[in-house]
Amino acid sequence: MGKKIVIIGGVAGGATAAARLRRMDETAEIILLERGEYISFANCGLPYHIGGAIENRDALLVQTAEGMAQKFNIQVRPFNEVLSINRENKNVSIREIKTGVTYTESYDALILSPGASPLRPPIPGIDEAERVFTLRNIPDTDVIKKQVDEHQPKKAVVIGGGFIGVEMAENLHERGIEVTLVEMLDQIMAPLDFEMAAILHNHLRDKGINLILSDGVKAFQNNGTEILLNSGMRLPTDITILAIGVRPESQLAKDAGLALGDRGGIKVNEYMQTSDPVVYAVGDAVEVTDYVTGQPAMIPLAGPANKQARIAADHICGRTASYPGTLGTAVVKVFDMTAASTGNNEKRLKQLGLSYQALHIHPGSHAGYYPGAFPVSLKLLYDPETGRILGAQGVGYSGVEKRIDVIATAIMGGLTVADLQELELAYAPPYSSAKDPVNMLGFAATNQREDLVDSFQWHEVDDLIEQDGYILDVRDDLEREIGYIEKSHHIPLDKLRSRIAEVPRDQPIHVYCQVGIRGYLASRILTQHGFEVVKNLDGGYKTYQEVYRPDEGANCEIEVDESGVAHITCAPTPEDINAMEPVARINACGLQCPGPIMQVYKRMNEMEPGQVMEVLATDPGFSRDIETWCRKTGNTLLSSTFDSKAFRCLIQKGRPLPAGGKSPVMADQLDGTTIVVFSEDMDKAMAAFIIASGAATMGKKVTLYFTFWGLNILRKDHAVQVDKTVLEKMFGWMMPRGTRKLPISKMNMAGMGPQMIKYVMKQKNVDSLEVLMQNALNAGVSLVACAMSMDIMGIKEEELIAGVELGGVATYLGKAQESTVNLFI
């Protein structure tokens, strides 16, 4: 017989250590002691069994005691709790829970993998509270699931916005329960920084979770049927999940005189040995070294527990592997989104006083032209001096965890941000882009380091607004329509050179665009035109908007009555929504902006208030735009789900208009949009009709005023018998007749250019000019032909397509006065 090894704890770390020990040493005597009934179960799957995604309970039992014992020739003893460790005699005393019998077991080596237990602080009323649960193991899961199955609670409160709290909120919601998630901090998911967590806040609210931040539980009242918060609010609840963190189960180790860290974790060296070299400890109970900073840390995750267990087993068997420290790489599903992180976040780096630079980008999860691409919001933290990567975070619908995994690998490989540029990552359109988002982080960070661009952060914007700093929005008109930073000036990027005189030279210029790329281009233009201080908003309006999105987008409203009781009205639950039969179904998959919104608008006009429409779309911007569209047009976005192929939105016609948000500024509802179309270029005409249609769907009164060459766009494509002078006839022959004959503004190449662009548009599913025009007319856009220019150019009313009105300059000026947007194309 070889060494005798006793293991305390039979789940993630314990079972892994036992299996590895056997593989390394066939002669060892291995005893696995587990206090509970089950060993080696899938803790990480527990919330999903409650929610129903993992239907089969047995699937959670990765290994049974009998199976493990047989397969690995191990003595597996469930229901055996270790009471104490006697290091002098090298034995442990054990109580057989079922019989109450105690006995001792000697060891040559001992491995502690007792895990961490959920915190259950002595909050007033907690002992009397009947339906307050924590979740750690299979019995906990059984109790919660039974409660949900048998009592069908209507309201649930989840306390704590960490991994388990968020997963439980989602899974209870999946069961049709109205869920309130209460978090003491101002954000959920502590490994993320605030602005990244804000994306999840919005998503949770959109999904109908009533999210209460910056508030904690003061007391459980009425046997736990009511929760009193620090703010005085009282939340009625039928079931409560307490998920406010875990505490390392290190009492045994402490009683045995083993060294513990400040936060109660068992201290170990790189071989997972405790202060007693024959006693090893792994998993949630140990204090690890932060891989990036070298600081002690408590990081309770399954991956590290498994790796540490393997190292402890190897070391006991005379092998030399060592544990390098923990990065804390983690991922969580939050409804349709994924959030992942690795290394240190900005809060931690600040706390440690380390020098860092933050970088935000929002590239597509894969090539934009392949259906189903979604933006991935990534944040990178690196040392500006050395380029060393300190941490990263990602939130999005697709492709998030793979980018964070690559960065985690890069950190462990000692790569710098410059190396991220060079990483050769797998690419084909359905999976990534030729420049993967990780490469993009490398490029953007290198631009920062080489002083090609200076950036400012989302949290500096408020001060800038207050101090009247010059903020320049270089996005397109339609983007600005959806919302913008208060007091910002607007010059679209392609007009910046011609309108550069409007930008003041006596103060710093703070540029922003939607995600940061056009802001970078604008910064380069301005810098090279002699502007001294130019800064680009890191992450663009997208990052800013997530933080400042007005709460009116939330699907739950809380009204606290005089006695402090919260009355929560949430949007319908998934079950309610499923019960609603859509009267209209739109499949806008493959259509690009503004195609899907146009279709929604058109169909909505034919519906009665209260009726429901279903829309399927793959345009990544659609899910965001439809939310704004609904808010601004007084309709209700009932649900927006995502099945990895398309967004499915259910929209109900009508609802009272919400009060406008403070910041970001939402454009006014009732104003008009006027566009003067002077050019006859096809590409410019298309731009005009896209903007016009977009604005019309937002409820604007849109007027396109065609003058001079622009009139050719409105001409019928065949000759019409009308009386004309010779000069008028000559003019008519020389000018293009109708949309199919229009040139393009650049690369016309004797008419080849328009054909090529039409071909590309068809490939990319972009509507032709003819379709755009018809859509605009259907959406109620007024097409006005300038009577004076018609006269000059000899164009008669009969020659124009149907639906065009004639008007003079007064018509235009009148419309322009009612408009906040006036464009000249």
**Residue numbers at the binding site for ligand FAD (CB under 6 A):** 8-9, 11-14, 33-36, 43-44, 46-47, 81-82, 113-115, 135-137, 163-164, 249, 252, 283-285, 300-303, 305
Residue whose CB is less far from ligand FAD, 35 or 201:
35
Residue 703 CB, shortest distance to ligand FAD, in Å, is 55
Closest separation in Å from C-beta 548 to ligand FAD: 31
Angle between helices 194-206 and 163-174 (to 10 degrees): 10
Shortest distance, position 397 Cβ to ligand FAD, whole Å: 19
* Helix, strand and coil in the chain, % to nearest 5: 35, 25, 40
CB of 61 to ligand FAD, least distance (A): 13
Closest CA to 391 of 414, 408, 368: 408
Rank residues 261 and 780 by Cβ distance to ligand FAD and give the closer one: 261
Question: What does the block give as tokens for 110?
Answer: 């001992």
Q: Are 376 and 400 in contact (CB under 8 A)?
A: yes
CB–CB of 270/331 below 8 Å? no
Signed CA dihedral, 567, 570, 575, 578: sign only: positive
Contact 389, 417 (CB under 8 A): yes
Using DSSP's 3-state secondary structure scheme, residue 510 falls into: strand
Cβ distance to ligand FAD smaller for residue 282 or 779 = 282
Active site annotation includes 786 = no
Contacts of 818 (CB under 8 A, 6+ apart): 671, 672, 701
Least distance from ligand FAD to the Cβ atom of residue 409, Å: 17
C-alpha 621/C-alpha 600 separation (Å) is: 14
Active-site position among 44, 513, 589, 649: 44
The amino acid occupying position 611 is Q
Element (H, E) at 804: strand 804-807
Shortest distance in whole angstroms from residue 748 CB to ligand FAD: 57
- Residue number, 62 or 577, with CB nearest to ligand FAD: 62
Q: Which is nearer to ligand FAD, 95 or 218 (CB)?
A: 95
Decide the pairing of beta strands 584-588 and 612-617: parallel
Give whichever of 81 and 576 is closer to ligand FAD, judged by the CB atom: 81
- Residue of closest CB approach to ligand FAD: 283
| Cβ 406 vs Cβ 378: under 8 Å | no
How far from chain centre, in Å, is Cα 210?
18
Which of 258, 626 has the CB closer to ligand FAD?
258
Nearer to ligand FAD, 14 or 469 (CB): 14
- Show contacts of 553-557: CB within 8 Å, 24+ apart: 553/202, 553/205, 553/206, 553/627, 553/631, 554/205, 554/206, 554/210, 554/211, 555/205, 555/206, 555/207, 555/208, 556/178, 556/180, 556/205, 556/208, 556/209, 556/210, 556/211
Question: What string of DSSP letters covers 118-167?
Answer: E-----TTTTT-SSEE--SSHHHHHHHHHHHHHH--SEEEEE--SHHHHH
Between 81 and 276, whose beta carbon lies closer to ligand FAD? 81
Min dist. Cβ of residue 303 to ligand FAD (A): 5
For 102, 208, 228, 569, the CA distances from 179, given in Å and listed in that order, are 44, 8, 16, 11
From the CB of 215, what's the least distance to ligand FAD, in Å?
24
d(CA 182, CA 194): 16
Phi, psi (degrees; rounded to nearest 5) at 697: -70, -20
Provide, rounded to whole angstroms, the least separation between the CB of residue 307 and ligand FAD: 11
Active site residues: 44
